């Protein structure tokens, strides 16, 4: 039975209009802000109890979402910069505020107009959630697409003022920030910036924090996604999510897409591949090839396994720029500790504290400061002191995340070992970015064609540390295991590719090649003993040395 049989069309239209208006008024009243206002003290209580899920900045309030409730606090009563360090703050623009308040009323009004138009055409459509298109006189239905609620940008409240110990990385990322701030300047000069930036470094050095700081400095939306989050059970789901992520980022341009643990989705494809992961990787490659360098979207990936990445990701036009984030040295650790202790009552010898935390990452230092503060509270102290750090240092070292640290004796042995590598590398013109007590960072230069002499020089660098400790201490140590393994692999490659075709003789010849290189290194180190001593002293004081500083020390003596 149809209502139109008993009610005239004109009256039916009036009834529909009145019902729609009443619905709009009811919705407006229901959407009025009745959120409970809380004080700054109450906000801190929610944070201490870890109840806060996220925050939304909607002037003139900061809205705080917990598991069960929604609260608001006046903006003038809260430190937005402080809250942004701990919680992602979504900033609602005036336009989005208008859309939020009037979206449903406007939707009803649109439906009303559409309904009246269709009634006038004597055609009624009850297909909710579908778009109607008229093409060549034919009505076509098209499914409406809704954005994934998990793909939402955040407005980063973090800047480089909130990140310490990344001087080298900061310089590398300055151009990216300037491009996002003023893309027109680069486009006028025809400058093409890389579509992708790869942050490479061990866990805990702050790669995610650095990416957020780039977004905060540039003032652009920041899309965070984990590489593992793309890989689903069902084939095609990850690829669809990648496509959707790039579409949303393009609409929000200029913007940053940050993919943490990118090796989870960009792992090198082998014989026994995963169909879903490979489909997702292919979609990622397609999306990066599909947008232009002036699109305003920069993709930042983070990994601690550069060797595991698929070669296709590293080809030109994708992740062209690579930024190495190494473990902080002594001065950088001092800056990081100073930053973490900035808003805490403390009386700490930072020079001593930075010296006793060799091998600590930024995350490890954050944990150390937090544990020291808890220890000070447990002993009812009013400030954090050196005794608090001494009490918890071993606890942090023996925790779930084992952190590399050396005793004074081990530190000296490692300084001697690394000094030999730095000296031989500099003398033989083998490029490196930094050699430190905690790690070695060679220059990231990929070459297809290598000379025999360049490979021989690199082999000598791998053997230099072991030869140095043999000269100084008359014995070798376990810290040479990785370098010896790399030297053996390189020697075998040299023999196999350049000298012999018979695999049986290659292994024996590789050992002979290593013996020859080791003898040359020993002779070189004995002649340059004074230089090696100075480099060792420099490492013990500064914990790392670059090639320019090593050359300066060489010039002082020769």
Domain ranges, ordered by start, for the chain: 1-32+93-121, 36-87, 160-324, 330-397, 408-557
Residue 76 is predicted with a pLDDT of: 76
The closest alpha carbon to 143, from 134, 131, 135, belongs to: 131
Q: For 199-208, what is the mean pLDDT?
A: 87
Please, which pLDDT band fits residue 124 given cuts at 50, 70 and 90? very low
When mean pLDDT is compared over 115-119, 452-456, 461-465, the highest value belongs to 461-465
Give me the pLDDT at residue 418, please.
Answer: 95
Residue 119 has pLDDT above 60, yes or no: no
pLDDT of 394-404, one tens digit each?
Answer: 777 655 344 45
Distance CA 356, CA 393 (A): 9
Q: 160-324 domain in CATH 3.40.1710.10?
A: no
Backbone φ and ψ for 535, nearest 5 degrees, come out as -65, -40
330-397 has the same fold as 36-87: no
Q: Could you tell me the CA-to-CA distances from 139 to 96, 120, 132 in Å, in that order?
A: 32, 16, 7
pLDDT digits (tens, 9 = 90+) for 81-94: 777 777 777 776 55
pLDDT of residue 271: 44
Question: How many CB atoms lie under 10 A from the CB of residue 347?
Answer: 11
Whether 156 shows a pLDDT value over 70: the answer reads yes
Mean pLDDT, rounded, for 366-383:
90
Q: 3-state DSSP call for residue 211? A: helix
Global model pTM greater than 0.75? no
The pLDDT value given to residue 504: 54
Tell me what pLDDT residue 11 has: 62
d(CA 82, CA 55): 13
* Structure confidence at residue 122 (pLDDT): 43
What is the CATH code for 330-397? 1.10.8.60
Residue 289 Cα distances to 196, 222, 295, angstroms: 11, 21, 12
pLDDT tens for 242-252 read: 888 888 888 88
Q: Does domain 408-557 bear CATH number 1.20.58.760?
A: yes
Report the mean per-residue pLDDT for the chain.
Answer: 78
Residue 551: predicted pLDDT: 93
Specify the pLDDT at position 550.
Answer: 94
Confidence of residue 530 (pLDDT cuts 50, 70, 90): very high
Between 264 and 101, residue with greater pLDDT? 264
pLDDT given for residue 419 in this prediction: 95
Place of tokens 């701990």: 86
**Residue predicted with more confidence, 52 or 347:** 347
Are 201 and 326 contacting, i.e. CB atoms less than 8 angstroms apart? yes
- pLDDT tens digits, 125-137: 333 333 333 333 3
pLDDT tens profile 9-25: 556 667 766 766 676 66
Q: Residue 412: which pLDDT band, with cuts at 50, 70 and 90?
A: very high
Separation CA 322–CA 74 (nearest Å): 42
Look up tokens 């397609």; give the residue.
286
* Cα separation, 548 vs 426, whole angstroms: 9
Mean pLDDT over 350-377 rounds to 87
Which residue did the predictor score with more confidence, 220 or 558? Answer: 220
Encode pLDDT of 478-488 as tens digits: 999 989 999 99
List, as one string, the DSSP characters of 511-538.
HHHHHHHHHHHHHHHHHTHHHHHHHHHH
How does residue 519 score in pLDDT terms, banded at 50, 70 and 90? very high
Q: Percent of the chain having pLDDT more than 70? A: 74
The fold adopted by the segment(s) 36-87 is: 3.30.720
| Spatial distance between the Cα atoms of 444 and 325, rounded to a whole number of angstroms | 13
Phi and psi at residue 297, to the nearest 5°: -110, 125
Give the pLDDT confidence score for residue 395 in this predicted structure: 73
The per-residue DSSP string of 366-407 comes to: HHHHHHHHHHHHHTT-SSEEHHHHHHHHHHHHTSSS------
């Amino acid at each position: 039975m149809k209502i139109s049989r008993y009610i005239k069309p004109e009256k039916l239209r009036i009834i529909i209009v009145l019902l729609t208006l009443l619905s709009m008024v009811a919705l407006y009243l229901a959407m009025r802000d009745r959120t409970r206002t809380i004080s700054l003290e109450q906000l801190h209580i929610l944070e201490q109890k870890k109840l806060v899920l996220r925050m939304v900045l909607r002037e003139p309030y900061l809205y705080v979402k917990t598991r069960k409730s929604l609260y608001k606090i006046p903006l003038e009563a809260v430190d937005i910069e402080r809250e942004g360090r701990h919680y992602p703050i979504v900033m609602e623009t005036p336009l989005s505020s208008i859309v939020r308040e009037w979206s449903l009323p406007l939707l009803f009004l649109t439906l009303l107009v559409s309904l009246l138009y269709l009634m006038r055409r004597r055609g009624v459509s009850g297909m909710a959630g579908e778009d109607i298109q008229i093409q060549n006189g034919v009505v076509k239905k098209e499914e409406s697409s809704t954005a994934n609620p998990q793909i939402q940008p955040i407005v980063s409240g973090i800047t480089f003022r909130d990140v310490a110990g990344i001087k080298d990385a900061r310089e590398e990322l300055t151009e990216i920030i300037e491009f996002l701030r003023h893309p027109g300047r680069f486009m006028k000069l025809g400058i093409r910036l890389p579509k992708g930036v790869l942050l490479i470094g061990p866990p805990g050095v702050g790669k995610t924090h650095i990416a957020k700081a780039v977004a905060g400095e540039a003032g652009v939306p920041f899309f965070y996604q984990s590489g593992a989050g793309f890989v689903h059970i069902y084939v095609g789901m990850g690829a669809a999510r990648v496509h959707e992520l790039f579409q949303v980022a393009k609409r929000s341009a200029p913007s940053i897409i940050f993919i943490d643990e990118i090796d989870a989705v960009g792992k090198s494809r082998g014989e026994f591949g995963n169909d879903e992961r490979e489909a997702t990787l292919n979609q990622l490659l397609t999306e990066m090839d599909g947008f232009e360098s002036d699109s305003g979207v920069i993709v930042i990936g983070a990994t601690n396994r550069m060797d595991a990445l698929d070669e296709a990701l590293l080809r030109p036009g994708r992740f062209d720029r690579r930024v190495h984030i190494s473990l902080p040295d002594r001065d950088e650790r001092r800056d990081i500790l100073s930053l973490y202790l900035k808003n805490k009552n403390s009386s700490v010898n930072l020079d001593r504290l930075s010296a006793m935390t060799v091998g600590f990452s930024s995350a490890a230092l954050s944990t150390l400061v937090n544990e020291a503060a808890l220890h000070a509270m447990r002993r009812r102290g009013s400030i954090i002191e050196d005794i608090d750090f001494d009490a918890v240092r071993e606890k942090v070292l023996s925790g779930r995340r084992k952190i590399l640290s050396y005793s004074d004796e081990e530190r000296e042995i490692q300084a001697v070992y690394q000094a030999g590598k730095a000296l031989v590398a500099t003398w033989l013109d083998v490029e490196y970015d930094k050699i430190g007590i905690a790690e070695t960072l060679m220059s990231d230069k990929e070459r297809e064609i290598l000379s025999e002499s360049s490979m021989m020089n690199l082999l000598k660098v791998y053997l230099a540390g072991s030869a140095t400790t043999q000269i100084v201490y008359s014995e070798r140590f376990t810290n040479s295991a990785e370098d010896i393994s790399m030297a053996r692999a390189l020697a075998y490659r040299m023999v196999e590719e350049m000298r012999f075709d018979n695999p049986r003789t290659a292994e024996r010849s590789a050992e002979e090649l290593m013996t020859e290189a080791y003898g040359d290194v020993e002779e070189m180190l004995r002649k340059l003993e004074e230089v090696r001593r100075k480099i060792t002293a420099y490492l013990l004081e500064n914990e790392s040395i670059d090639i320019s500083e090593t050359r300066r020390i060489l010039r002082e003596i020769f």
